[in-house]
Amino acid sequence: VIAYACYSCHGEKLTKLRFNQPLSGQQLTETLLMFKNNKKESTIMNRITKGYSDDELKSVASYLSELK
């Protein structure tokens, strides 16, 4: 369910991300946690990620990294 919130901005297959290559689940988890902990600048992701636990962010990162 959390992934659907991602789709509204990033597209169903996350094609609207600004990365040169897909991120692994670990890389995506680290990125989301950096947003949550204000260690990576963002206009909105830092606010969105604060609404989820670390485990929820890890789970959604794992799920999203497996999309083909």
Percentage of the residues of the chain whose pLDDT score is greater than 70:
94
For residue 46, give the H/E element and its range. helix 45-49
Q: What's the token pair of residue 47?
A: 């606010």
Return d(Cα 43, Cα 65) in angstroms, integer.
Answer: 23
Angle between helices 54-65 and 25-36 (to 10 degrees): 140
pLDDT at 10: 85
pTM, whole model, 2 decimals? Answer: 0.85
Mean pLDDT, the chain, whole residue set:
88
Four-residue CA torsion sign, 67, 23, 36, 45:
negative
Q: How confident is the model at residue 32 (pLDDT cuts 50, 70, 90)?
A: very high
